Chains A and B, each alone.
Chain A
């Protein structure tokens, strides 16, 4: 997936000088993303790698928008900031994926779907939390030390 964003970014760079309007530009990128996944799926089926075929279900539009955002981020904030953002997103996605892959967890929620109501309740509680965030310890460290 990261590979698709990377190649997509290079493609986006290449077509930048063509000065396409936003919609055709995104359509172009979507076509590329579909093409990339078709190739992945073909390779996957040829060598029997199931994971390669599964990613074909990923939403195309989201990936195309990701490429476009990534391009603008690099243009405006520099490659370092863009990579940092991308790494952050990838880290969050990986952690989430690892958690939802835990077998006992999957089984529990499959057998007792009403547990989701508990989750919704917890989320409502979380939504009311007006205390500090963990990241703010770091962000406002200077102020905390002064007190």
Chain B
């Protein structure tokens, strides 16, 4: 019974968490490179060096003594994002969209005081939100104004695009759309929906919510399929270049599309989740094995790797 279930997963080419760890993450992601992606500040500096655009960095708070100075560093900016450098799963992130009478307005419409912000920064510095519970830094970044492309299928928040890159080749992609249930956050475990992307066409396919496969956004009621993603080739290139930049062979790349700035690299993940397979309604293994058999010369440049991916990962079949 159980064995038959395992075999049907194998036939569908589903990548399980054990195989991902043992055969992809451990051999292809050097432990020493993990800090480059676990620390968003390091990722940002690296991306800057390699000419990959990221959201603008306004300020970094590293010590408790500097907390009071953060307002001066804002220099009157009305909107910003406060996030832990080493946070995971979207925890500890606050989006401020406006300031009124000395209060900060969050995206969900809550007004929080200066003291509350200070307290939150102090929590971040103490490492409450950090992956290993170590001391952390608080980043203050520019707020992203999402491009209108997904506005009909987004409930508040910022949708983001996740691309799995194996040996520099984009292998699978999805867009994560915030819902009412996810409180405007784009994390699937919080209730956001994942929508598979046809890499070759740069268009969305059906979506997946906790309840199963869906064709329309649960809050806006709009069709999820066939949305054409702008800057798609550029996004694939940014994802592919992230491998050269970090040396990580199995990588999750998170991008957002800003109305004014275009695609921006939000963060990288050395242990990307497996939900992307559900969003795409296909297993990842066959594609990873195809990449292993790909001709050697396509690995020479990001352009060639992306072109190969576009050619091979489209339509049905794989």
Contact = CB atoms under 8 A, between A and B. Distances in A.
A and B bind: yes
Contacts of B9: 132, 136-137, 140, 143-144
A143 B17 CA distance: 15
A77 B22 CA distance: 30
A130 B14 contact: no
Contact of B213 (A136, A142, A147): A142
Contacts of A22: 122-123, 126-128
B68 to A, nearest CB: 14
Interface string A110-141: 00000000000000000011111110110110
Interface in B80-132: 91, 115, 119, 122-123, 126-128
B278 A140 contact: yes
B190 interface: yes
User: Chain B: interface residue count, which band?
Assistant: 35 or more
B12 A143 contact: yes
Contact of B8 (A19, A128, A139, A144): A144
A95 interface: no
A132 B16 contact: yes
Interface SS majority for chain A: helix
Given A136-B9, A143-B283, A128 B22 contact: yes
B317 interface: no
A72 interface: yes
A14 to B, nearest CB: 16
A23 B126 contact: yes
B91 A143 contact: no
A143 B115 CA distance: 48
Q: For B11, B12, B122, which residue has the most chain A Cβ atoms within 10 angstroms?
A: B12
A9 B14 CA distance: 40
Q: Output the residue of A72, A131, A142, A144 with the most chain B CB within 10 A.
A: A144
A21 B278 CA distance: 41
B14 A142 contact: no
B6 A137 contact: yes
A103 interface: no
A12 B208 CA distance: 37
Contacts of A144: 5, 8-9, 11-12, 14
Nearest to B189: A77
A50 interface: no
Contacts of B115: 19
A143 B128 contact: no
A77 B14 contact: no
A118 to B, nearest CB: 22
B113 to A, nearest CB: 11
Given A19-B115, A132-B16, A136-B16, 4 more contacts: A72-B91, A130-B19, A131-B6, A143-B282
